[in-house]
């Protein structure tokens, strides 16, 4: 991987000049620019994990360069910083180095060779060494919100919900990036909060024993008095939403549908319902295959926690089955319904049921006619309608049945391709 550089400077022309120096001196570098004058200070949880070195102007446009330098160097495992001085002097350089700068350069007249040499040494130096166990530094590194989770270093927060917070972390054991999902017992929702929380953890414990290429790998569980955490696989390529926006060929959509159905097949066989299938919970591996994440009781708890006194539901339940949206009993066929909605979206690049409020979306799932596909996609419509029938009894009875149906369509698609269609 080439050098990854972040430039923090309020002058667009100067940022471009610095980027050109980097691009001349390194093969295939990745250069990102940050304008403090328009974006303000960096978020408190920004750790610079995606960069090898940061170039920082001593007059960033918001506050002083030394304030920025001291703040960033206090952040755990932050990459080396090359400091750009408007008026270089022995005194200003010594002050910058004392504040944590890896090195200093004149902002007014860039010595290209010196510039590249300094970046190379910064890249070789890497991030600061880990603090020794038992020090305040290791405690700060292992802080996730108001919790300390030893064995993991905080990188950044990824998402938050009423029940859980999701972080990107670094495992000190494997030295690799992991996703850390921290779950809390939320305030009493339905009189059985502790039971629901325990069931959620039980389902993840069951799923952790599953080894399947399309199911996320779960590495570890841990627990405290009122929280638990789950360490699981991290997917740098992101989720299915981006892929849908780019457009998916019908034959590829069928392949992804089969992979999701195969993952559901093994989850259901282990006694686990997903309950929250949506493109954001379908991750991409480097080889283009997909992985299901985030199964368990979280959606059920969050749905109950989000119902107000007048019955309004906060959220966008575009993928909920009619029975789930109306609070009725769900089973494996509810997951197949959600999968069918995703299949429609992959083929059509839009959701089948759109409305102004979540409750109106729920109503459409239960009462609107089944959506139709474009004429050139009609060959997929039988699979779609057998997934998203309003009555669960009219859907595929199991994920295994869906897998076989998709395989048959894939064989037909291969024959069409061989014949030049």
Of 232, 252, 278, the position where a domain reaches its end is 232
The per-residue pLDDT of the chain, averaged, comes to 85
Position 131 in a domain:
no
Q: Reduced to 3 states, what is the DSSP secondary structure of residue 81?
A: strand
pLDDT at site 296 = 56
Report the catalytic residues.
Answer: 276
Which of the 8 DSSP states describes residue 190? S
Domain ranges, residue 396: 240-418
Exposed/middle/buried for residue 217 (C-beta within 10 Å: 0-12, 13-18, 19+): middle
Nearest-angstrom CA–CA distance, 161 and 141: 23
Q: Is 315 within the bounds of a domain?
A: yes
- The answer to whether residue 379 scores a pLDDT higher than 90 is yes
What are the backbone angles phi and psi of residue 344, rounded to the nearest 5°?
-60, -45
Q: Do 349 and 251 fall into the same domain?
A: yes
Per-residue confidence (pLDDT) for residue 63, from 0 to 100: 86
Is residue 162 assigned to a domain?
A: yes
Q: What is the mean pLDDT of residues 402-413?
A: 94
Does residue 285 lie in a domain region?
Answer: yes
User: Residues of the chain with pLDDT > 90: what percent?
Assistant: 45
CB 147 within 8 A of CB 124: no
- Please give the pLDDT value at position 310: 38
Q: Looking at the predicted structure, is the pLDDT value of residue 150 above 50? A: yes
Helix (H/G/I), strand (E/B), else coil: 282: strand
pLDDT, residue 266, reads: 93
User: How far is C-alpha 131 from the geometric centre of its chain's CA atoms?
Assistant: 28
Instruction: Output the pLDDT for position 298.
Output: 40
Say whether both 46 and 11 belong to one domain: yes
CA dist., res. 52 & res. 118, Å (int): 12
Do 360 and 305 reside in the same domain of the chain?
yes
pLDDT score of 216 more than 80: yes
**Where is average pLDDT lowest: 40-49, 127-136, 374-383?**
127-136
For 285, list phi and psi in degrees, rounded to 5: -85, 165
In a domain, 130, yes or no: no
Provide, rounded to the nearest whole percent, the portion of the chain with pLDDT above 70: 86
- The number of beta carbons lying within 10 Å of the beta carbon of residue 7 is 24
Residue 146, phi then psi, degrees to nearest 5: -100, 15
Q: Which of 71, 105, 125 is the last residue of a domain?
A: 125
User: What confidence tens digit (pLDDT) does each residue in 235-288 have?
Assistant: 989 999 999 999 999 999 999 999 999 999 999 998 888 888 999 999 999 888
Give the C-alpha separation, 234 to 168, whole Å. 8
Residue in 95, 8, 16, 97 with CA at minimum distance from that of residue 46:
8
Read off the pLDDT of residues 304-326 as tens digits, 9 standing for 90 and up: 444 333 343 333 589 999 998 98
What total of structural domains would you count in the chain? 3
Contacts with 109 (C-beta within 8 Å, 6 or more apart), sequence order: none
Q: What is the CATH number of the domain that holds 399?
A: 1.10.510.10
* Sign of the C-alpha dihedral computed for residues 186, 192, 194 and 195 taken in this order: negative
The reply to whether 253 and 379 lie within a common domain is yes
Q: Which of 349, 267, 359 is nearest to 307 (CA)?
A: 359
Q: Report the pLDDT value the prediction gives residue 243, as an integer from 0 to 100.
A: 94
Residues 401 and 255 in one domain: yes
Q: What integer is the mean pLDDT of 61-80? A: 88
Burial environment of residue 261 by CB neighbours within 10 A (0 to 12, 13 to 18, 19 or more): buried
**pLDDT of amino acid 313:** 39
- Last residue within a domain, chosen from 186, 203, 232: 232
Residues 289, 353, single domain; the answer is: yes
- Tell me: do 200 and 340 sit in the same domain: no
pLDDT of residue 368: 97
In contact, 325 and 357? CB cutoff 8 Å: no
* Residue 340: inside a domain: yes
Mean pLDDT of 198-205: 67
pLDDT in tens, 346-361: 999 999 999 988 899 9
Report DSSP state, residue 307.
B
Cα 10–chain centre separation: 29
Is residue 55 domain-shared with residue 141, that is, in the same domain?
Answer: no
96 within a domain of the structure (yes/no) = yes
Phi then psi for residue 93, to 5 deg, are -70, -40
CB proximity list for 299: less than 8 A, separation 6 or greater:
275, 276
162 vs 76, more confident: 76
Residues 52 and 101 in one domain: yes
Residue 85 within any structural domain of the chain? yes
Query: Do 178 and 29 share a domain, yes or no?
Result: no
245 lies in the same domain as 303:
yes
Confidence band for 300, pLDDT divided at 50, 70 and 90: very low
Confirm whether pTM is higher than 0.85.
no
The contacts of residue 62 (CB under 8 Å, 6+ apart) are 10, 36, 37, 40, 41
- Same-domain check for residues 114 and 206: no
pLDDT band at 332 (very low <50, low <70, confident <90, very high): very high
C-alpha angle 162/239/36, rounded to 5°? 75
Residue 131 clears pLDDT 60, i.e. is over it: no
CATH code of the domain containing 45: 3.40.50.2300
């Amino acid at each position: 991987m080439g050098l990854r550089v972040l430039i923090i400077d309020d002058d667009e022309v100067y940022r471009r000049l610095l980027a050109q120096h980097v691009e001349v001196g390194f093969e295939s570098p990745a250069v990102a620019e940050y304008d403090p004058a328009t974006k303000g200070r960096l978020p408190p949880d920004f750790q610079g994990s995606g960069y090898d070195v940061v170039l920082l102007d001593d007059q960033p446009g918001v506050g002083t360069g030394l304030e920025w330098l001291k703040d960033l160097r206090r952040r755990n495992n932050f990459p080396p910083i090359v400091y750009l001085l408007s008026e270089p002097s022995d005194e200003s350089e010594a002050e910058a180095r004392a504040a944590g700068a890896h090195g200093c350069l004149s902002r007014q007249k860039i010595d290209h060779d010196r510039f590249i040499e300094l970046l190379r040494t910064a890249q070789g130096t890497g991030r600061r060494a880990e603090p020794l166990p038992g020090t305040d530094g290791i405690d700060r590194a292992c802080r996730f919100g108001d919790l300390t989770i030893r064995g993991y270093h905080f990188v950044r927060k990824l998402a938050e919900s009423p029940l859980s917070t999701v972080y990107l972390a670094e495992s000190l054991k494997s030295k690799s990036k992991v996703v850390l999902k921290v779950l809390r017992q939320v305030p009493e929702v339905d009189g059985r909060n502790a039971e629901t929380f325990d069931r959620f953890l039980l389902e993840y414990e069951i799923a952790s024993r599953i080894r399947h290429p399309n199911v996320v790998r779960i590495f570890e569980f841990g627990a405290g008095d009122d929280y638990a955490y789950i360490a699981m696989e991290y997917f740098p390529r992101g989720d299915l939403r981006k892929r849908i926006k780019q457009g998916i060929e019908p034959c590829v959509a069928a392949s992804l549908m089969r992979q999701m159905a195969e993952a559901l097949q093994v989850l259901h066989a282990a006694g686990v319902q997903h309950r929250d299938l949506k493109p954001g919970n379908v991750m991409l591996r480097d080889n283009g295959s997909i992985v299901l994440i985030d199964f368990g009781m979280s959606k059920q708890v969050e749905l109950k926690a989000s119902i107000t006194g007048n019955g309004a539901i906060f959220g966008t339940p575009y993928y909920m089955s009619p029975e789930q949206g109306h609070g009725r009993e769900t089973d494996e066929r509810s997951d197949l319904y959600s999968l069918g909605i995703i299949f429609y979206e992959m083929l059509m690049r839009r959701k089948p049921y759109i409305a102004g409020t979540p409750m109106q979306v729920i109503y459409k799932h239960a009462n609107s006619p089944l959506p139709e596909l474009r004429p050139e996609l009609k060959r997929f419509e039988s699979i779609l309608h057998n997934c998203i029938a309003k009555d669960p009894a009219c859907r595929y009875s199991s994920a295994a049945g869906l897998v076989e149906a998709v395989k048959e369509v894939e064989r037909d698609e291969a024959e069409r391709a061989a014949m030049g269609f």
